[in-house]
Structures are given as structure tokens and as C-alpha cells.
């Protein structure tokens, strides 16, 4: 999963771009639910939130490192639950 750092300026550009609805406004900055973020695997070649963030504050979450296979498994589980 990716994460949003405290450099976030709450511009709201990323939230509608997420195909998994993993991004939401937190108490102070936007946040990513690691259970929903597939790093856009299954949907796009590149993480869409990273592409649009004007301050480049969406790195990989070191606490939620996943392989491409794990991300694809998550994607499939999310799709099956829809």
C-alpha cells in the first residue's frame, strides 16, 4: 500500500482518482486505507494518486510492503466483494 505524508496540503485531487476508494479525508490530512490500496494493481500501470499529487507526498508505506502477487490477490478479493 501507499501512504500519505504530513506534507499533504488537503487539495482533494487524489481522492476521486482512486479506483478502490482507499483515500479519505482524515482528521488533519488525507489518508489511505492500506486494506483497500492495491497500489493500483489490477486497474492501472501506475498509482493514480501519485500521478496527480501536486506535492508528491504519497510514498510506499514501509509498514505495508506487498509483492505484486499480494496486491493482485487483494485486488481480486476487493472485486469479489463488490
- How far apart are alpha carbons 79 and 54 in whole angstroms? 29
Contact 48, 16 (CB under 8 A): no
Residue 79 binding ligand SF4, by CB under 6 A: no
Contacts of ligand SF4 in 12-51 (CB under 6 A): 12-14, 17-18, 20, 22-23, 30, 32, 37-40, 47-49
Smallest gap from Cβ 54 to ligand SF4, in A, equals 6
- How far apart are alpha carbons 9 and 35 in whole angstroms? 23
Residue 49 CA, chain-centre distance (Å), reads: 7
Can you tell me which of 26, 28, 57, 73 binds ligand SF4, judged by CB under 6 A? 57
Q: Cell numbers of 52, please?
A: 496527480
Q: Which residues bind ligand SF4 (CB under 6 A)?
A: 2, 4, 8-14, 17-18, 20, 22-23, 30, 32, 37-40, 47-49, 52-53, 55, 57-58
Amino acid at each position: 500500500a501507499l501512504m500519505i505524508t504530513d506534507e499533504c496540503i488537503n487539495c482533494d485531487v487524489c481522492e476521486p482518482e482512486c479506483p478502490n476508494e482507499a483515500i479519505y479525508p482524515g482528521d488533519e490530512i488525507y489518508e489511505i486505507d492500506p486494506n483497500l490500496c492495491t497500489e493500483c494493481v489490477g486497474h492501472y500501470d501506475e498509482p493514480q494518486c501519485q500521478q496527480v499529487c501536486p506535492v508528491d507526498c504519497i510514498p510506499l508505506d514501509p509498514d505495508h510492503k506487498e509483492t505484486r502477487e499480494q496486491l493482485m490477490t487483494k485486488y481480486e478479493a476487493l472485486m469479489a466483494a463488490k
